Structure formats: C-alpha cells, structure tokens
Amino acid sequence: MPKKETKVQQLEKELLNKPKNVGEIDNNILNEAQKFCEGYKEFLRNKTERAVVDYTIPILKAHKYTEFQMGKKYKAGDKFYYNNRGKALIMVTVGKRPVSDGLRLGVSHIDSPRLDFKPNPLFEDIDMAFFKTHYYGGIKKYQWTTVPMSLHGVIRLTDGKTVKVRIGEEEGDPLFCITDLLPHLARNQMKKPANEIVEGEQLNVLIGSWPYGDEKVSGKVKLNILNMLHEKYGITEKDFLSAELCATPAYEPRDYGLDRSMIGAYGQDDSVCAYASFMAELDTKKPDFTTVTVFTDKEETGSDGNTGMRSLFLKDFLEDFVSAYGLSARHVLMRSVCMSCDVNAAVDPAFAENYERNNASYLNYGPVVSKYTGGGGKYSTNDASAETMGYIRSILEEAKIPWQVGELGKIDNGGGGTIASEISVHNLDTVDVGVPVLSMHAPLEITAKADVYLLYKAVLAFYNCTRPKD
C-alpha cells in the first residue's frame, strides 16, 4: 500500500512547479524515442542545407506532396512544397479552416557551423596541398583541428552543369582534417587566449602530399591534386570561383552513452528541430489550421541572403499561396502562430556556473520553450508575449507533453539569437521551441533522444490543435 500523501505534500504538489526528468514521468518514453531517432540519425547524414533539401524532396513526393502551383486553390488535406534554390524549403498541409483563420508555422534552419572553402582555396606549402577555409557560423576554432572531416558542396561549370561533391562520408573514402601543433612545441601557443590558439587563417584542410612526377613544373603537389580533380569532376582551378564547397566533421551520427539515451553527431543545431518538425508535418493529415513547415538557410551567419529568414521568400510565397483565396499574406500572418524551432543550451555540470539554474534547460526534461533569446538587456530578441506563451503552454499541457523553459545562459555571459525575430517582424506571434544540446556548435553535439521525440510530439500537437488563438 502506498503511503497516503500528507497535507503539506499535497500542497507542494498543487502549488509548486517542479520540473521532472521525463524518464521519471514515463520510463517507456525512451523506447519510443529510440525508434524515432533511427530516422533522425539517417537525416543527420545530410550535413549541408543542400543535402537536406535533396534528401527531403523525394520523401515529400512519396507522401503525396506536389510542387506548389501559383494561383491554385488548394483544399483541406492537400500537401505541397516550395523549393527555394535547393537550399531552403517550405512544406504545407492545407487545413479545414479557411486560410484567413491563420496558419500554424514551424520554422527551423538546416545550415550548421562548418568550414567553407574560400573562392580561391587550393594552395601548396612545404610540399603539401591545402584547401583554405573561411569558417561559417560561430565556432571555437581550436575545436576543429584534428577532427576527421569530409568535403561537401557543388561546383557550377561554365557550361551550366553542376558537379556535386561528397568525399569522406563513405567507407573506403579518404580522410581530411585541420592539423595542429604538437604539445612539445606549443609553449607559446598555449599561452594565447583561446580565440587565438588557432586562428582563422590556420584553418586549412590538408588534402595531399604527393608530387606530380615531372621535373619542369613548380607546385607539383597542388598540380597533382588538380589533375585528380580534373579526372574525377572535369574541373580546373578556375571552377572553384563558382563553387560552394565546405568541410564538415566526417563521422556518422551515432547512439551516445552506455544506455544509448543520447545522440552524438555533427549538425544537430538545427537538424534536430528540422527533423522533428518535418516528421510532424508528414504526420499531419487534415489539420484544422493550415500548417507551414519551413527549412531555412543562413541562420548561422545572421540569416542574410535570399535563402535566409531575413529574405522575403517566405512572405512572398505566402502571398502567392493565399492570394488564390483573395487574401493578402499580412492579414493571414497577423492571425498566425509560429514555433521557431531551434536548439537551446543544456546545462553542463562541467560549466554549470554559466547557467542560471531556475531558467536553464536540461537534457531529458523535454522540449525547451524559450520566451526570449538575445543578449544582456534582452537585446535582439523576439520575446514572446504572455498570451503566446499561454497558447503554446495550453497546447502542450493538453497533449500531456512534458516541457521546460530555457534561457540561454546567465544574463551577461554572452547570448545568442534565433530566427524568431526574423519571423515576428511579419507581425505574427512567435515563440522559440527546441531541444537542449550539449557542446552546441562543436564538431560533436549531444542531444537526448527523449527530448528529440518529445519535440516531434510538441510540434505535432501544435499542428493539430483546434483551438484558435485569441
């Protein structure tokens, strides 16, 4: 017989907000999460925004999504997508309510921090050939040396053909990395501040060391590499000028931990939210409100550019979609709600002093809802209203999905933004929802499977909610 609760215990239960590890709420969640995360690991093998879009479109087609047609009046249950330059994607499921009642949007980004090649990347030094990079996104540069890397991207030739590059991901492929100085000679290096231990111009990917077998030419190692690239891809050095190439960590997404409760992989910021919202989008059949799932690019460099969230591509697409009903996008958007799906920082006991414990997110405590992001003094943040927080909260609680709040670290410790402010600029209610991550922006990021799965459930509940916003 369980002991009867005392009056004070009852009072505690009623009055206090005590977040719990979801494993204590329902220990079976991990089993469901395991299954869900098998698909997530597959998704994570796509390490650039282009790879994600290429991977996603055939799946959309298999789920009866068709390419968006301007002027078409879609009906409830119709599914379609819009591909922005192979780097950003919009997926829609039309709801039963008129579009004028507003949309339910889930927006995530599919670019991740990495090392982009410079336009003129190939050079030879001390009989070795390298690719010169300019890092993309906010990284601790010293973390990226001696990490197994792979090469990705596209090269556009002058005849209009595009060559796709993906080397270092398959078994039997060669390995690449950024080299580092041996500790024996690092006395001076180790005295430098961490942001100077490895400098931007030292992030060069070693790619070859064997000379071309000819006495008469100089730069024989570089020439040998170019010759190989020419044979494989038909390219010359000038073709790098019209290319987007990068190096990313090469290792496979894997189960993490003896209990396999986590995922260790590159690019979980923000593929974790992209995958969870993608699955929710696929599983939403005939919702009340029309759902719009967006994969955007360029978040890690500030969302500028025509495939980033500061571009008008989403607004313009919505204009084209809703004008078929005689509506204008702004009137639809002002009645819409958006989950801006991005990761937050999970408390790490090794660095616990950087978090304010009552307002930080924890692994295995469920999806994290961040009222605001930004930096000290709440600069540059969307800051969701009480009403929007209340709306999301009511959906999550009704669906019995455990969730937590999260602030990105202590007030004056730094900070960081998400695309929520790029979305709310269009006058719709937006809130950040995501998954807590350990070692964010490192070559190996860690998430908890239960959180990944529960984010999917959260977005699914949001997409299928019948409750109008007040």
Other CB atoms closer than 10 Å to residue 273's CB: what's the count? 31
Q: Which member of 49, 111, 124, 269 binds Mn ion (CB under 5 A)?
A: 269
Instruction: Tell me whether residue 137 or residue 219 sits nearer to Mn ion (CB atom).
Output: 137
Residues present in the chain in total: 470
Going by C-alpha positions, the residue among 458, 35, 439 that lies closest to residue 264 is: 439
Of 160-168, 263-271, 274-282, 354-362, the segment contacting Mn ion by CB under 5 A is 263-271
Q: Which member of 49, 124, 297, 342 binds Mn ion (CB under 5 A)?
A: 342
Of 121-129, 169-177, 218-226, 268-276, the segment contacting Mn ion by CB under 5 A is 268-276
Least Å distance between CB 361 and Mn ion? 14
Tell me if the bond preceding 270 is cis, omega within 30° of 0: yes
> CA 92, 417, 118 angle in degrees (round to 5)?
85
Least Å distance between CB 412 and Mn ion? 20
Q: Is 292 helix (H, G, I), strand (E, B) or coil?
A: strand
Other CB atoms closer than 10 Å to residue 288's CB: what's the count? 17
Instruction: Tell me whether residue 49 or residue 269 sits nearer to Mn ion (CB atom).
Output: 269
Q: How far apart are CA 342 and CA 418, in angstroms?
A: 7
- How many residues touch Mn ion under the rule CB under 5 A: the total is 3
Instruction: Tell me whether residue 124 or residue 342 sits nearer to Mn ion (CB atom).
Output: 342
Q: How far apart are CA 377 and CA 380, in angstroms?
A: 9
Instruction: Tell me whether residue 270 or residue 297 sits nearer to Mn ion (CB atom).
Output: 270
Least Å distance between CB 295 and Mn ion? 12
Structure tokens given for 128: 């070795």
Instruction: Tell me whether residue 281 or residue 342 sits nearer to Mn ion (CB atom).
Output: 342
Instruction: Tell me whether residue 222 or residue 441 sits nearer to Mn ion (CB atom).
Output: 441
Going by C-alpha positions, the residue among 299, 232, 242, 248 that lies closest to residue 269 is: 299
Instruction: Tell me whether residue 108 or residue 290 sits nearer to Mn ion (CB atom).
Output: 108
Q: Confirm or reject binding of residue 422 to Mn ion (CB under 5 A).
A: no
Q: Which member of 111, 124, 270, 297 binds Mn ion (CB under 5 A)?
A: 270
8 A C-beta contact, residue 82 and residue 243: no
Number of H helices, E strands in the chain: 12, 23
Of 185-193, 337-345, 421-429, 453-461, the segment contacting Mn ion by CB under 5 A is 337-345
Other CB atoms closer than 10 Å to residue 18's CB: what's the count? 6
8 A C-beta contact, residue 380 and residue 374: yes
- Pattern of binders to Mn ion over 215-244, x per CB under 5 A? ------------------------------
Of 9-17, 150-158, 267-275, 352-360, the segment contacting Mn ion by CB under 5 A is 267-275
Contact residues: Mn ion, CB under 5 A = 269-270, 342
